[in-house]
Structure 1
Amino acid sequence: MLDDNLKTQLKAYLAKVTQPFEIVASLDDGAKSKELHGLLTDIVGLTDKITLKLDGQDARRPSFAINRPGEETGVVFAGLPMGHEFTSLVLALLQVGGHPPKASDEVIEQIKGLEGELHFETYFSLSCQNCPDVVQALNLMAILNPDVHHVAIDGALFKDEVEERQVMSVPSIYLNGEPFDQGRMSLEQILAKVDTGAAEREAAKLGEKPTFDTLMIGGGPAGAAAAVYAARKGIRTGVAAERFGGQVLDTMAIENLISVPHTEGPKLAAALEEHVKEYEVDIMNLQRAVKLLPGRPGEEHEVQFESGASLKAKTLVLATGARWREMGVPGEADYRNKGVAYCPHCDGPLFKGKHVAVIGGGNSGVEAAIDLAGIVGHVTLIEFMDEMRADAVLQKKLRSLPNVDIVLGARTTEVNGDGKRVTGLTYEERASGEIRQIDLQGVFVQIGLVPNTEWLKESPIELSERGEIVVDARGMTSVPGIFAAGDVTTVPYKQIVIAMGEGSKAALGAFDHLIRS
C-alpha cells in the first residue's frame, strides 16, 4: 500500500512513539477493506509499538480505531485516510503513542476541562485541503479528553450516509448527531464554540494589553509580512486576525510564489505563522474587527472586535483581505452548502457522476471546470461576458474535454432547488433576453473577490467604488498613521507575492510614521 519512500518517512516519525498502542480494524470482504488492511499492515510493520487487531465491531466498514491498551481514545477513521488526510493519520498515531502535541499549554488545559459527552463526526474528502485542520483538531480533543470522541468519515466511501444527511460540502461536522458546523475550522474555533465562556475570557485578556506601536488587522500574507518587518524594527507588534492565514487557507495549488515552485495554501499559511512566531509578535487569533475608532494626530487608534475585545495602537496596518464574491441571486444563500459551493477541490468529490455548473470564465472558473470534469458527470461553465477571460492555455484545455459545455453571454438569475438541495439553475441569454433553465445538482461560484471592508463603512477611511481601501505609494490610507495592504486595497493584481510586498511596505511606512511623529 505504501511505497518505499513513504515507509521510510513514516518509520522515522513512528520512532517518536513512546507508548504502545493498538489499531482495531473493522473490515469486510470489499476492495476498500483489503486496501485498508494493506495500509495498516504496512504501518504496524514499521514499529514494535503498534499492534493490529482485526476484531473491530464498528458498523462502518472499512474503519479502524486507534486505542491505548484497555482504553478507547475515541479516535476512529472510517475509510482510508490517504491524500490530504494522511498527515491526520500520522499525527493521530504519534499523539496516541505519547508524542506531545504542538498545542499550547493553555489550549491543552482548555480541552481537558471540557465537560459532558461530545461525540463528533466529520465528513471529509481526500482532495479537501480544508478538512485536515478539522480532523486533526477533533482527534487531538478526543486523545486529551476521555469525554470527547471523533469519527472522521470519507464521504466518497460512505455515500449512503452522505445522501441521508444531505452532506454537500466538506468538512461537515456533526456533534451528538446534530449539525455542528461546516467548512474549515481551527482547534481554537472549535473550542470557542463548545466552550461558551472562552470568547468572553479571551476578550477580557485582550482588553488588558498595553498599546501596540504597530497592530496588524488580518493575518494573511500581507498581515504576516507586515508583522515580520515591524517586529524586526524592535517595536511592539501585534497581529489580530479572524483566522491566521486568511484566504490562503482556502487555496489549493500555489505555483507562482517566486522561488517556491509548488506549495499548497495550508502549508504556506503554517509557514507564515511559524515565521512570524520567530519574532516577538503578539498573535491574537479569532478576532474579527467590527469597528475602527481612529485617533486624532498624535493619538492612539482603537479597533473593536466582535468578541467584545478592544485594542489600541499608535499605527495600524489594515490587511483584512477579501472573500469569494457571491452572485447575489435568489436561491444562492438558501442552498449554500446544499449544492452551492465555492471550493471545487473540497466539495467536488461529493458530486461524483452528477451535473454541475461553474459560474465564471476567468482563470479560477476555468481551472475549477477542468478539475471538476475529471470527477463529475458533466460540467456547464457559464460566463457573463461574450468571451472567457482565462488564459488561452486553460481555455484550450477546457474546450478539449468531452463532458463540458460552455455558455457565454449569460447572466445567472436564480439557483433552483426543492427546499433541501439544488435541482437546477436559471440564466438569461443577454443578447436575446431568452430565459433558460438547466437541471443540475451543484453550482460552483468562481466570480472573483470582494474586499472585507464592511467594518470600515462608518470610518473616515477612504474607500473606492469597489469598497477597496485607497492607499498611497507608501501604503498609507486617508487617515495618517493608518496603513493598509493586500487584497483589501486598491493595489491591482491580487496575488500572494504582491500582498507580501505591500505588507512589508506598509510596515516600513508605519515605522517611518512612528519615528517622524
Structure 2
Amino acid sequence: MLDANVKKQLDTYLQNIVTPIEISVSADRSAKAAELSSLASEIAGLSDKIALNQVERKRTPSMAIAPVGEIPRVSFAGIPMGHEFTSLVLALLQAGGHPSKADPALQEQIRNIQGEFHFETYISLSCQNCPDVVQALNLMAKLNPNITHEMIDGALFQDEVEQRQIMAVPAVYLNGEHFGQGRMSLEEIVAKIDTGAEQRTAAELNERAPYDVLVLGGGPAGAAAAIYAARKGIRTALVAERFGGQVMDTVGIENFISMPYTEGPKLAASLEQHVKEYGVDIITGQRAAQLKRDKLIELELASGATLASKSVILATGARWRELGVPGEAEYRTKGVAYCPHCDGPFFKGKHVAVIGGGNSGIEAAIDLAGIVKHVTVLEFADTLRADEVLVRKARSMANIDIITNAQTTEVLGDGSKVNGLQYTDRVSGELKQLDLAGIFVQIGLVPNTEFLKDSGLEMNRMGEIVIDTRGATSIPGVFAAGDATTVPYKQIVISMGAGATAALGAFDHLIRTSVADEPAEALSMAS
C-alpha cells in the first residue's frame, strides 16, 4: 500500500506519538478490505506504540483509531488514501497525544460543548475540499468525549449514497440528519453546534481597539496585504469567512512563479502560516455585512460585531458564477455542481454536461471524460474561449461533444435529482433537451462585493471595485486588491502583487494623513 518514501515520511511523523494507540480494523473477504488491512498492518509495523486488532463494525471495510483502552470516536469507512491520507496521519498523531495546532481558545470551546453529536462525512478521495471537514470533525471527536466522527468513502458505500441521494461532497450528517454541505472550517462547525458562540464572539470583537489596517479577505490578495502591512509595524487584522479563499477550491497550480506545481490547500496553508508569523490578528468565521466611514472606517459583520480601523483593504475575491436559470437552486448538490474534481466520481458511467467553454470548462470536461460515460460541453458564444491546446485535447476525446451557440434555459429533475437540461440553439431558436445525470457549471466568476452596494464605493457594472494604481478606491482610507477589483487578470500571482500594492498604499495614506482629521467633504467623491 505504501511506497518506501511514504513509509519513511510516515515513520518520522509517528515518532511524535507519546501515548499508545490502537487501530481497530473491520474487514471482510473483499479486495478493498484486504487493502485496508494491509495499510493498517504497515502503519502498525512502523511504531511500537501502535497496536492492531480486528473488530466488527457497522461499516466494512473500516478502521477506528483511539488511545489504548478507550472506545474509538474517530473512524474511517473506506481506505483513507488520496487527499484523505493526511487526515489519517493527523488522527493517528492526535490519538497518540500530539497536540493540535488549532487555536487553543477554540479547542477549549470544543471541550466544553454539551450534548451528544455523532457526525458522518461522505467524501470522495479526489475531493480537495473534504479533508478540511474530516480533519475538523476528527479533532472535535478527539477533544470532546460526547462527539464521534466517521469518514465514509462514497465510492465504497454506494447504497448509502443512493439512499441519502448524495451527489456532492463533502456531505455531513449529524445524528442521522443532514448537517452541512461543502467546505466548512472548524470555526464554522463549532459555531453551528455551540449555541451562543456567535454572540460571545461578537461581544469580544466589539471590545477591540481600532486597527491601523483591517484586511477583509483571506485569499492570496488578503494574505499579501496583511503581511506587507504588518511588516511596517502597524496594528493589523485579517477578517475572513475562511482562510485561503477561492484558492482552497483549486486543485493543481502550475503557473505560480518559482513553484512548478502545488495544490490550492497547500498554498493556502503556507499563506496562513506566513501571516501568523507577523502577529496579525486573524479573525475567521466572520462575514462582512456593511462598510461605513465616519472618523474611522467601520466594518459591520453579520454576527453583529463591528470592527474599526484607520484604513481598510478589501480583498474579498470572487466566487463561481451561477447560471441563474430555473431548477439550478433546487438541484444544487443534487446533480448541479461547481467542482468537477470533488463531485465527478459520483457520476461514474453517467452522462453529464459542462456549461462554459473557457479554460475552466474545457479542463473540467477533459477531467470528467476519464470518469463519466459522456460529457457534453455547452458554450453560449459561437466559439470556445479556452486555450487552443485544451480545445484540441477535448475534441480528440471520443466521449466529449461540444455545442456552441447554446443558451441553457432550465435545469430539469425528477424532484430529487437532476435528469436533464433544456437549452436554446441561438442560431435556429430551437428549444432542445439533453438527458443528463449531472451538470457542472463553469461560467466564470462574480465578485464578492454585494455588501458594499450602499457604501458609496465606486464599482463598475459587474460589481468590481474601481481602484487606481496604488489600490486606492473612491473612499479615502479604503483600498482594494485581487479578484474583487477591476484588475484585468484574475490570477493568484497578480492578486498577491495587488495585495502588496494596496498595503503599501494604505501605509502611505496613514503616514500622510489622519483619518480622524479628514473633512467630511472627502466623502463627496464617493457619492
What TM bracket, shorter-length normalisation? over 0.9
Choose from 420, 425, 428 the match for 1:424: 420
Aligned residue number for residue 521 of structure 2:
none
Distance (whole Å) between structure 1 residues aligned to residue 346 and residue 359 of structure 2:
23
Distance (whole Å) between structure 1 residues aligned to residue 379 and residue 290 of structure 2:
36
Deviation (angstroms), 1:377: 1.1
Per-residue deviation, residues 5-53 of structure 1 (Å, max 9, x unmatched): 1111111111111111111111111110111111111111111111111
> What does residue range 9-20 of structure 1 map to in structure 2 within 5 Å?
9-20=9-20
Distance (whole Å) between structure 1 residues aligned to residue 27 and residue 201 of structure 2:
45
Aligned residue number for residue 193 of structure 2:
194
What amino acid does structure 2 have at the position aligned with 1:36?
L
> What does residue range 81-96 of structure 1 map to in structure 2 within 5 Å?
81-96=80-95
Distance (whole Å) between structure 2 residues aligned to residue 294 and residue 247 of structure 1:
28
Deviation (angstroms), 1:260: 1.0
Tell me whether 1:262 sits opposite 2:258 in the alignment. Answer: no
Deviation (angstroms), 1:197: 1.1
What amino acid does structure 2 have at the position aligned with 1:263?
T
Distance (whole Å) between structure 2 residues aligned to residue 470 and residue 238 of structure 1:
23
Aligned residue number for residue 363 of structure 2:
367
What amino acid does structure 2 have at the position aligned with 1:300?
L
Distance (whole Å) between structure 1 residues aligned to residue 341 and residue 147 of structure 2:
29
Distance (whole Å) between structure 2 residues aligned to residue 358 and residue 323 of structure 1:
17
What amino acid does structure 2 have at the position aligned with 1:347?
D
Tell me whether 1:436 sits opposite 2:435 in the alignment. Answer: no
> What does residue range 340-489 of structure 1 map to in structure 2 within 5 Å?
340-489=336-485
Distance (whole Å) between structure 1 residues aligned to residue 375 and residue 216 of structure 2:
39
Distance (whole Å) between structure 2 residues aligned to residue 292 and residue 120 of structure 1:
37
Moved more, 457-466 or 102-111: 102-111
> What does residue range 485-504 of structure 1 map to in structure 2 within 5 Å?
485-504=481-500
Deviation (angstroms), 1:72: 1.3
Per-residue deviation, residues 286-331 of structure 1 (Å, max 9, x unmatched): 1111101122xxx211010001010011111011110000000000
Deviation (angstroms), 1:400: 1.0
Helix, strand or coil at the partner of 1:86: helix
What amino acid does structure 2 have at the position aligned with 1:212?
Y
Deviation (angstroms), 1:117: 1.0
Distance (whole Å) between structure 2 residues aligned to residue 336 and residue 50 of structure 1:
43
Mapped contact 1:73–1:146 kept (Cα < 8 A): no
Aligned residue number for residue 230 of structure 1:
229
Distance (whole Å) between structure 2 residues aligned to residue 138 and residue 461 of structure 1:
40
What amino acid does structure 2 have at the position aligned with 1:439?
D
Helix, strand or coil at the partner of 1:73: coil
Structure 1: tracts of 5 or more residues without a match: none
Per-residue deviation, residues 318-360 of structure 1 (Å, max 9, x unmatched): 1111000000000000000000000001111111111110000
Deviation (angstroms), 1:67: 2.1
Distance (whole Å) between structure 2 residues aligned to residue 204 and residue 174 of structure 1:
30
Mapped contact 1:317–1:485 kept (Cα < 8 A): yes
What amino acid does structure 2 have at the position aligned with 1:38?
S
Deviation (angstroms), 1:243: 1.2
Distance (whole Å) between structure 1 residues aligned to residue 293 and residue 250 of structure 2:
33
Tell me whether 1:320 sits opposite 2:320 in the alignment. Answer: no
Deviation (angstroms), 1:59: 2.5
What amino acid does structure 2 have at the position aligned with 1:436?
K
Aligned residue number for residue 37 of structure 1:
37
Deviation (angstroms), 1:104: 2.0
Mapped contact 1:73–1:142 kept (Cα < 8 A): no
Aligned residue number for residue 140 of structure 1:
139
Aligned residue number for residue 65 of structure 1:
64
Distance (whole Å) between structure 2 residues aligned to residue 101 and residue 93 of structure 1:
12
Helix, strand or coil at the partner of 1:474: coil
What is the percent sequence identity of the aligned residues? 66
Helix, strand or coil at the partner of 2:73: strand
What amino acid does structure 2 have at the position aligned with 1:119?
H
> What does residue range 109-148 of structure 1 map to in structure 2 within 5 Å?
109-148=108-147
Helix, strand or coil at the partner of 2:311: strand
Distance (whole Å) between structure 1 residues aligned to residue 312 and residue 146 of structure 2:
43
Helix, strand or coil at the partner of 1:315: strand
Runs ≥4 residues deviating over 3 A: none
Distance (whole Å) between structure 2 residues aligned to residue 144 and residue 285 of structure 1:
21
Distance (whole Å) between structure 2 residues aligned to residue 128 and residue 98 of structure 1:
28
Distance (whole Å) between structure 2 residues aligned to residue 212 and residue 67 of structure 1:
44
Distance (whole Å) between structure 2 residues aligned to residue 104 and residue 387 of structure 1:
50
Helix, strand or coil at the partner of 1:413: strand
Distance (whole Å) between structure 2 residues aligned to residue 293 and residue 93 of structure 1:
47
Deviation (angstroms), 1:144: 1.2
Aligned residue number for residue 160 of structure 1:
159
Aligned residue number for residue 325 of structure 2:
329
Distance (whole Å) between structure 1 residues aligned to residue 265 and residue 192 of structure 2:
22
Aligned residue number for residue 7 of structure 2:
7
Tell me whether 1:512 sits opposite 2:508 in the alignment. Answer: yes
What amino acid does structure 1 have at the position aligned with 2:7?
K
Helix, strand or coil at the partner of 2:71: strand
Mapped contact 1:363–1:391 kept (Cα < 8 A): yes
Distance (whole Å) between structure 2 residues aligned to residue 353 and residue 62 of structure 1:
24
Moved more, 304-313 or 103-112: 103-112
What amino acid does structure 1 have at the position aligned with 2:365?
A
What amino acid does structure 1 have at the position aligned with 2:48?
D
Aligned length: 513
Per-residue deviation, residues 165-208 of structure 1 (Å, max 9, x unmatched): 00011000000000000000111110011102111111111101
Distance (whole Å) between structure 1 residues aligned to residue 170 and residue 124 of structure 2:
8
Distance (whole Å) between structure 2 residues aligned to residue 59 and residue 203 of structure 1:
41
Structure 2: tracts of 5 or more residues without a match: 514-527
Aligned residue number for residue 78 of structure 1:
77
Distance (whole Å) between structure 1 residues aligned to residue 68 and residue 221 of structure 2:
47
Deviation (angstroms), 1:244: 1.3
Aligned residue number for residue 24 of structure 2:
24
Deviation (angstroms), 1:368: 0.4
Mapped contact 1:355–1:378 kept (Cα < 8 A): yes
Deviation (angstroms), 1:480: 1.2
What amino acid does structure 2 have at the position aligned with 1:69?
V
Distance (whole Å) between structure 1 residues aligned to residue 12 and residue 235 of structure 2:
40
Helix, strand or coil at the partner of 1:72: coil
Aligned residue number for residue 285 of structure 1:
284
Distance (whole Å) between structure 1 residues aligned to residue 66 and residue 506 of structure 2:
52
Distance (whole Å) between structure 2 residues aligned to residue 146 and residue 453 of structure 1:
41
Deviation (angstroms), 1:73: 3.0
What amino acid does structure 2 have at the position aligned with 1:31?
A
Per-residue deviation, residues 138-170 of structure 1 (Å, max 9, x unmatched): 111111111101110000111000000000110
